[in-house]
């Protein structure tokens, strides 16, 4: 590929080279699968691979390009989290209960990517039904962090984050209910965006907590996120919660805003939260650099300390309802019994893993007679307070900056036995989902052990244009490429 | 807030799960700990606060109630555990007439 190594590829660079004829999509996809064969036996980011089909689609993309056909992702190899339906391929959600499920239809985001000419290479690993922060809850295997194979890649979209970090595909789609895109992006040193609730259609995304779930992109750069977001965003008749807002050309916007001055808020409650000192220091360093060209203001989000408890009532409550559909009747695993109730119970006891059962139990409890008011309704009211905090803050500032995670990537096995500890690792990302806001995780440095540190930017509803613009400015200011040492060996 | 073993089994029945005694015991400990953590919310006065079920307010979308055909019935049924004559087979839920 004329001297360009795979670690130098971004979507934007690949598109330019494809356009100039310096590479073909077939070459790009072949190189992607070489990368997968070399590294995925160790990293284990993928649950399913579509090599043959991908090469065929790459060939088609090359032919289309020759004929002058356009597509914003024509010939670009991407992966998809295995809770998003790609027609004709498995969608397991990392669960035994859907182990043999073949998606009979296409998720809207997948339809959109294909319409832009993207080449789908496979489905990535996740915590079962996206419930978890490490991929350790996958019923199949744990994905490894490419920066240190003894550590978790984060979760639930850990497979997508690890795949992009290792350049096994130059972008991916994940889903984020409480941090499932941003936390793994931070742990793996890639960029991850959770868009505003409603900006991207959820049709074909297997439901976890419907008022919090959102599909979003992983990429190596902010520009790539801008390209991917443009491709997947927009109103969809098949998702009644998708919003009819106009979708700007994000790539153009971030370039226009290269020098735009923002008022940036630092939520004091976030910085008061107990966290790893190196993460805190790195965020402060970046903020200090931003002070030269932007206005920095301290703001208060007083209900932050209540967010995790609120989330772990609302999300399991919605999950317990959504996951009622896995009953052994219509599709998925069935454990036969002559008695219907017994069939339900045996099927669900065998098909669901521990964390999924835990959340179904919590959710059922929080919704059950006598406890609804004390738990579910109470949490939904506190959710209002958390949302109001953000709306107040955005009267004073354009955007907020916070850490993504309170700790660097933890060791495999370190937190899996203590669910509450695992839940608390989402403390900085959860409030964003409760408030329906967009949040982006940007790699901004490495700690003394060489592990990536992420910075979170939070924006007002539907202001991905501002969010991406600031992220692009910070990325340029830091001017550092994040390549795991594994790839240099 | 301790959750008794009976309560665990009652909730399990409500959500159609089943546990052996050891699992149920473990669950009662874990759930008790998690519910204790939720107690923090009770310190907030929310009497005059309306609940939020969706953070982004959108008007209720209406559409015509039209039947649309789905072109992959085969693919849908292929995921079913047991199919006969394009119908899903389930355990009998009604008693045979005497």
Look up A476 and say whether it is catalytic: no
Q: Which of residues 16-35 of B touch A (CB under 8 A)?
A: 16-19, 27, 30-31, 33-35
Active-site residue (options: A72, A160, A180, A201): A180
For A125-136, what is each residue's pLDDT tens digit? 999 999 999 999
- A/B interface, count of CB pairs below 8 Å: 159
Q: Which residue in chain A has the smallest CA separation from B56? A: A436
Residue B98: pLDDT band (50, 70, 90) is low
pLDDT value for A369: 85
For A374-400, what is each residue's pLDDT tens digit? 999 999 999 999 999 999 999 999 999
Kindly state whether residue B56 falls inside one of the protein's structural domains.
Answer: no
Give me the number of domains chain B comprises: 1
Kindly state whether residue B30 falls inside one of the protein's structural domains.
Answer: yes
Kindly state whether residue B32 falls inside one of the protein's structural domains.
Answer: yes
Kindly state whether residue B92 falls inside one of the protein's structural domains.
Answer: no
pLDDT value for A419: 84
A83 in reach of chain B (CB within 8 A): no
Kindly state whether residue B35 falls inside one of the protein's structural domains.
Answer: yes
Q: Which of residues 367-406 of A touch B (CB under 8 A)?
A: 368, 374-375, 377-385, 387
Residues of A in contact with B53 (CB under 8 A): 211, 380
B41 contacts A310? CB cut-off 8 A? yes
Domains of chain A in start order, with CATH, are 6-265+395-488 (3.90.1300.10), 306-379 (no CATH)
The boundaries of the domain holding residue B21 are 5-43
Kindly state whether residue B31 falls inside one of the protein's structural domains.
Answer: yes
Q: What is the mean pLDDT of chain A?
A: 96
Q: Which of the residues in chain A have pLDDT under 70?
A: 1-3, 489
Look up A180 and say whether it is catalytic: yes
3-state SS, chain B, equals CCCCHHHHHHHHHHCCCCCCHHHHHHHHHHHHHHHHHHHHHHHCCCCCCCCCCCCCCCCCCCCCCCCCCCCCHHHHHCCCCCEECCEECCCCCCCCCC
pLDDT value for A2: 54
Residues of B in contact with A343 (CB under 8 A): 91
Question: Which residues, other chains included, contact A346 with Cβ-Cβ below 8 Å and sequence gap of 6+?
Answer: A328, A335, A337, B18
Active-site residue (options: A12, A81, A123, A282): A81
pLDDT value for A4: 72
Question: What is the predicted ipTM?
Answer: 0.94
Q: Which residue in chain A has the smallest CA separation from B48? A: A381
Look up A138 and say whether it is catalytic: no
A85 in reach of chain B (CB within 8 A): no
Kindly state whether residue B93 falls inside one of the protein's structural domains.
Answer: no
Kindly state whether residue B10 falls inside one of the protein's structural domains.
Answer: yes
A436 contacts B34? CB cut-off 8 A? no
Q: Measuring CA to CA, which residue among A78, A108, A122 is closest to residue A227? A: A78
Active-site residue (options: A25, A156, A157, A469): A156
Neighbours of A165 (CB within 10 A): 30
């Amino acid at each position: 590929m004329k001297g360009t190594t795979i670690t130098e590829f971004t979507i934007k660079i690949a598109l330019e080279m494809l356009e100039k004829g310096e590479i073909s999509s077939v070459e790009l996809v072949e190189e992607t699968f070489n990368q997968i064969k070399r590294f995925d036996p160790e990293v284990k980011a993928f649950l399913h691979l579509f090599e043959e089909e991908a090469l065929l689609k790459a060939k088609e993309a090359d032919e289309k390009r020759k004929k002058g056909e356009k597509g914003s992702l024509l010939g670009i190899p991407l992966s998809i989290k295995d809770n998003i339906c790609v027609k004709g391929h498995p969608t397991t959600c990392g669960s035994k209960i859907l182990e043999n499920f073949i998606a009979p239809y296409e998720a809207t985001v997948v339809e959109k990517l294909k319409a832009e000419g993207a080449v789908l290479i496979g489905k990535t690993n996740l915590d079962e039904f996206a419930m978890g922060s490490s991929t350790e809850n996958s019923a199949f295997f744990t994905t490894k962090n490419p920066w240190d194979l003894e550590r978790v890649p984060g979760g639930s979209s850990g497979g997508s984050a690890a795949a992009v970090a290792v350049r096994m595909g130059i972008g991916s789609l994940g889903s984020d209910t409480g941090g499932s895109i941003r936390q793994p992006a931070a742990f793996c040193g890639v960029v991850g965006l959770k868009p505003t609730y409603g900006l991207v259609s959820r049709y074909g995304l297997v439901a976890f907590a419907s008022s919090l779930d959102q599909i979003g992109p992983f990429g190596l750069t902010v520009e790539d996120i801008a390209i991917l977001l443009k491709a997947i965003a927009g109103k969809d008749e098949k998702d009644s919660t998708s919003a009819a807002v106009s979708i700007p050309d994000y790539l153009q916007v971030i370039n226009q805003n290269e020098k735009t001055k923002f008022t940036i808020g630092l939520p004091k409650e976030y910085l008061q939260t107990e966290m790893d000192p190196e993460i805190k220091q790195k965020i402060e360093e970046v903020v200090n650099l931003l002070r030269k060209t932007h206005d920095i203001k301290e703001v208060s989000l007083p209900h932050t300390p209540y967010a995790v408890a609120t989330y772990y009532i609302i999300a399991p409550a919605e999950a317990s309802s959504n996951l009622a559909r896995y009953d052994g009747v219509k599709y998925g695993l069935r454990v036969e019994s002559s008695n219907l109730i017994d069939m339900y119970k045996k099927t669900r006891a065998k098909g669901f893993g521990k964390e999924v059962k835990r959340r179904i139990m919590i959710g059922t409890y929080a919704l059950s007679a006598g406890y609804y008011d004390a738990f579910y309704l109470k949490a939904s009211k506190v959710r209002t307070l958390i949302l109001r905090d953000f709306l107040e803050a955005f009267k004073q500032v354009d955007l907020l900056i916070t850490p993504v995670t309170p700790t660097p990537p933890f060791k495999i096995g370190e937190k899996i036995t203590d669910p509450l500890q695992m839940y608390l690792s989402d403390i900085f990302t959860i409030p964003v989902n409760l408030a329906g806001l967009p949040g982006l995780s940007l790699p901004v440095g490495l700690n003394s052990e060489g592990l990536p540190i992420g910075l979170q930017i939070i924006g007002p509803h539907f202001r991905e244009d501002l969010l991406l613009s600031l992220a692009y400015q910070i990325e340029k200011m830091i001017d550092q490429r994040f390549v795991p040492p594994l790839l240099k060996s | 807030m301790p959750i008794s073993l009976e309560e665990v089994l009652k909730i399990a029945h409500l959500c159609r799960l089943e546990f052996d005694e050891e699992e149920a015991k473990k669950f009662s400990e874990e759930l008790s700990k998690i519910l204790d953590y939720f107690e923090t919310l009770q310190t907030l006065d929310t009497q005059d606060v309306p609940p939020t079920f969706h953070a982004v307010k959108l008007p209720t979308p209406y559409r015509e109630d039209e039947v649309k055909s789905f072109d992959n019935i085969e693919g849908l049924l292929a995921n079913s555990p047991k199919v006969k004559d394009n119908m899903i087979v389930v355990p009998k839920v009604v008693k045979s007439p005497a």
